[in-house]
């Protein structure tokens, strides 16, 4: 088995191997009427579904490649079910890789980005700085851990990885359903009525307990904000400082990370936080607990916001590691990349 399928993090689960390869193949060959041979083989020789009518438009919509059975692909879910029934955790590399023309684009040098190269297309769409695109193209070609880390981030709750910035709003009327009140625990709740989504609240408690063990108390100061509340905040800022400055300081309603129920402002909510013990501790350790600084210093052009040392977003441990390991800790860049990946 090659290194590709057995990283130093242990064997790659079967479903990821199949999912990864099927994504690549679907995206690189979805105009073909025949399904990839290896997928037919994985599906136990299952015949492909009816072909699409001639001339039917190819959709480029997100998730299209996750819906097998559209005539281009064998039933992937069934293939996985059949294979998991065999009790085997791995598939011979030549079975998976032998037909996998989709591997080639990722192994290609970054200079060949462009049409026909999945990663190249995504990087081109991502809007990332040229230098970073080149670096990522190269890194992904040299180290398959990049794609494995990416796939870890694509699992689970899509709102953890959802790009919410000046130009990418939340769905109309979005309101999280699992908000819980922050009543304090290892952290200090700065005022009553603070709330986060359950998983973020639990991650906050875990992080705060670790900080407390080092004699540091984290203070939660501002948390979930509803669309309606953000209208008030934004309008007040516009009244007090004018629209240009208000846009630097606060999000327009519908465009705020706080509306996700996953973002939290800590401590004083001003620049002095960076130099407090809590601020320094978080800058160093927040990522280990799945929290990511949203608006780092020097990246206003990318994020649209001035440096906010106090504003963190819970993204989960996989994505936090992905951001730190591959995007230099810049959440905005990683989310732009994932957005392009899921929408290309
Ligand atoms: Zn904030």
| 23-36 pLDDT per residue, tens | 444 333 333 333 33
Q: Tell me, what's the pLDDT at 17?
A: 52
CA-based nearest residue to 37, from 98, 89, 88:
98
Burial class (CB within 10 angstroms; exposed 0-12, middle 13-18, buried 19+) of 159: middle
Ligand 1 centre distance from Cα of residue 267 (Å): 11
Taking 70 as the pLDDT cut, the residues of the chain under it are 1-116
Q: What is the whole-number distance in angstroms between the Cα of residue 263 and the centre of ligand 1? A: 7
For the chain, the domains span: 6-156, 179-343
CATH number of 179-343: 3.30.1380.10
Using an 8 Å Cβ cutoff, are 123 and 136 in contact? yes
Q: Which token pair is 308?
A: 């906010």
Using the mean position of ligand 1's atoms as its centre, give its distance from the Cα of residue 198 in Å: 18
- Retrieve residue 316's tokens: 């989960």
Residue 222 C-alpha to ligand 1 middle, in angstroms?
7
How much distance in Å is there from the Cα of 187 to the middle of ligand 1? 17
Q: Distance from the CA of 326 to the center of ligand 1, in angstroms?
A: 24
Distance 264 CA to ligand 1 centre (A): 6
Q: Please give the pLDDT value at position 204.
A: 98
258 CA distance to ligand 1 centroid (A)? Answer: 6
CA of 42 to the centre of ligand 1 (A): 47
Neighbours of ion ligand 1 (CB under 5 A): 265, 311
Q: State the Cα–Cα distance between residues 298 and 296, nearest whole angstrom.
A: 6
pTM of the model: 0.70
CA of 5 from ligand 1 middle (Å) equals 40
Report CA(68)–ligand 1 centroid distance (Å): 40
267 contacts 260 by C-beta, under 8 angstroms: no
Annotate 180-195 with b (16+ C-beta within 10 A) or e (fewer): bebeeebbebbeeebb
CB of 226 closer than 8 Å to CB of 260: no
Taking the centre of ligand 1 as the mean of its atom positions, its distance from the CA of residue 291, in whole angstroms, is 13
Which ranges constitute the DSSP H helices of the chain? 14-29, 37-42, 76-84, 93-98, 103-107, 118-126, 130-142, 145-153, 198-212, 227-241, 243-249, 277-285, 300-303, 317-326, 331-343
Using alpha carbons, select from 146, 81, 75 the residue that is nearest to residue 110.
Answer: 146
10: left (phi over 0), alpha (psi -120 to 50) or beta: left
Cα 313 from Cα 263, distance rounded (Å): 4
pLDDT at 117: 80
How does DSSP assign 291-340, residue by residue?
EEEEE-TT-HHHHSS--EEEEEEE--HHHHHHHHHHSTT-HHHHHHHHHH
Q: How far is the CA of 250 from the centre of ligand 1 (A)?
A: 8
Tell which residue, 192, 133, 199, 125, has the closest CA to residue 163: 125
């Amino acid at each position: 088995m090659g290194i590709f399928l057995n990283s130093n993090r242990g064997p790659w689960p079967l479903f990821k191997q199949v999912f990864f390869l099927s994504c690549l193949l679907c995206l690189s060959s979805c105009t073909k009427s025949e399904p990839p041979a290896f997928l037919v083989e994985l599906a136990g020789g299952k015949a492909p579904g009816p072909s699409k009518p001639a001339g039917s438009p190819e959709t480029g919509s997100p998730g299209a490649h996750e819906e097998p059975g559209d005539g281009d692909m064998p039933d992937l879910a069934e293939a996985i079910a059949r294979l998991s029934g065999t009790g085997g955790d791995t598939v011979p590399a030549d079975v998976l890789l032998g037909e996998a023309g989709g591997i080639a684009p990722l192994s290609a040098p970054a200079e060949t980005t462009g049409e026909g190269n999945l990663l190249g297309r995504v990087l081109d769409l991502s809007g990332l700085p040229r230098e970073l695109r080149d670096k990522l193209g190269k890194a992904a070609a040299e180290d398959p851990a990049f794609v494995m880390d990416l796939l870890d981030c694509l699992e689970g709750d899509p709102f953890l990885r959802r790009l919410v910035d000046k130009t990418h709003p939340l769905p109309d009327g979005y309101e999280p359903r699992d908000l819980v009140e922050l009543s304090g625990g290892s952290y200090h709740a700065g005022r009553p009525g603070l709330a986060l989504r359950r998983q973020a609240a639990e991650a906050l408690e875990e992080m705060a307990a670790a900080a407390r063990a080092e004699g540091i108390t984290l203070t939660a100061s501002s948390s979930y904000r509803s669309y309606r509340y953000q209208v008030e905040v934004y309008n007040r800022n516009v009244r007090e400082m004018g629209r240009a400055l208000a846009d630097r300081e606060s999000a327009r309603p519908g465009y705020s990370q706080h509306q996700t129920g996953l973002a939290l402002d800590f401590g004083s909510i001003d620049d002095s936080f960076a130099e407090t013990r809590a601020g320094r501790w978080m800058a160093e350790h927040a990522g280990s607990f799945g929290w990511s600084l949203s608006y780092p210093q020097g990246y206003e052009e990318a994020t649209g916001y001035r440096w906010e040392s106090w504003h963190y977003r819970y993204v989960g441990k996989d994505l936090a590691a992905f951001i730190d390991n591959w995007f230099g800790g810049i959440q905005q860049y990683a989310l732009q990349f994932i957005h392009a990946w899921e929408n290309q």
